[in-house]
Amino acid sequence: MSSTTPDVSATISRLFVYPIKSCAGVELTEAVLTETGLDLDRAWMVVDEHGEFVSQRELPRMALVRPQLKHYEVVLRAPGMLALHLNIEGVEAPVRVRVWDDEVAAFDMGDVAAQWFSDFLGAKLRLVRFDPEHRRLSSMNWTQGVEAPNQFSDGFPLLVASEASLRELNRRLAEAGHAPVGMERFRPNIVLSGVEAHDEDRMDVMRIAAGEEVQLRPVKPCPRCPIPNIDPATAQSTPEVGDMLQGYRRNDIVDGAVTFGMNLIVLEGADQTLRVGQAVTADWRFD
């Protein structure tokens, strides 16, 4: 890393956590960074009767489940449902569940939570909490050999995107006669301002002054599934977002998949607090 002035100077403009995988996010002004990502991010997951995770891909109404973080609990609300209160530290029986190709240790959250999700989503489901004693590592094919644990995220602790990247997509959508979309569709943890569209694709280690220095390394472009087509306000899916990205965001690094945002791992700074408004610096990465 050069000791000269960094190539990139940006600002954290938004922070999100997604307490329950594939349900709505919670926007925060600050969040504690852990080695697995932001605190409580993807700490819970909905599974079917075989212990396989489910997501908006099969059940788009999951987008309508809106968590709220309290001091000691997570409160879940959804249209037509009474609020469900989850004790942040409360769990029931240990279970084994699957997220993608990984079988991991978890804790069932009990029959009341299971019935709530089953009733709202119309399938036999249960809610589970990640077992913090279990170590689920990101693919070392991408982390350069660094052990980067995560909980129930698809594969990496954090996702970063930029305001400029979203503006560019919305410019193209407007030219095609489509309505703009919000950043919530792309489910980032960190949103940057002060950079050009898709600069996050080319950034090397991101450094954030947050007490002790935080170092986050972008490791893999984020391939996008159909979830960005789902309107988080209505759970209705339309193809224009994915279709537009197909035209200009194919990435050979991930076998031609459509990408938006970069997956990050935590190199330094676990237990520090990230805040909206903090400065982010980085050099360009040249592969």
Q: Tokens for 212, please give them.
A: 């002790």
The confidence score (pLDDT) of residue 90 equals 87
Among 2-11, 179-188, 211-220, the least confident range: 2-11
d(CA 20, CA 75): 11
The confidence score (pLDDT) of residue 18 equals 98
d(CA 122, CA 22): 16
Q: Tokens for 85, please give them.
A: 């209160």
d(CA 283, CA 10): 11
pTM confidence score: 0.95
pLDDT, tens digit (0-9, with 9 covering 90-100), for 31-54: 999 999 999 999 999 999 999 999
**Residue at token pair 């709220």:** 68
pLDDT, tens digit (0-9, with 9 covering 90-100), for 134-188: 999 999 999 999 999 999 999 999 999 999 999 999 999 999 999 999 999 999 9
pLDDT, tens digit (0-9, with 9 covering 90-100), for 47-87: 999 999 999 999 999 999 999 999 899 999 999 999 999 99
Q: Tokens for 134, please give them.
A: 């279990």
Mean pLDDT of 211-228: 94
> What are residue 47's phi and psi, to 5 degrees?
-125, 155
CB-CB contact of 138 with 265 (8 Å): yes
Mean pLDDT of 190-203: 97
d(CA 47, CA 100): 12
CB-CB contact of 216 with 158 (8 Å): yes
What is 8-282's CATH number, 2.60.320.10, 1.10.510.10, 2.40.33.20, 3.30.70.1290? 2.40.33.20
Residue from 186, 198, 182, 285 nearest 250 by CA? 198
Q: How confident is the model at residue 2 (pLDDT cuts 50, 70, 90)?
A: very low
Q: How confident is the model at residue 3 (pLDDT cuts 50, 70, 90)?
A: low
Q: What residues does each domain of the chain span?
A: 8-282
Torsion angle defined by CA atoms of residues 82, 86, 92 and 96, in that order, rounded to the nearest 10 degrees: 90
One-letter amino acid at 264 equals: L
CB-CB contact of 40 with 88 (8 Å): yes
Q: How far is CA 74 from CA 35, 77, 86, 187, 208, in A?
A: 21, 10, 5, 19, 28
Strands 158-162 and 190-193: parallel
pLDDT, tens digit (0-9, with 9 covering 90-100), for 233-280: 999 999 999 999 999 999 999 999 999 999 999 999 999 999 999 999
Is residue 210 predicted with pLDDT exceeding 90?
A: no
Instruction: Choose between 212 and 94: higher pLDDT.
Output: 94
- Residues composing the chain: 287
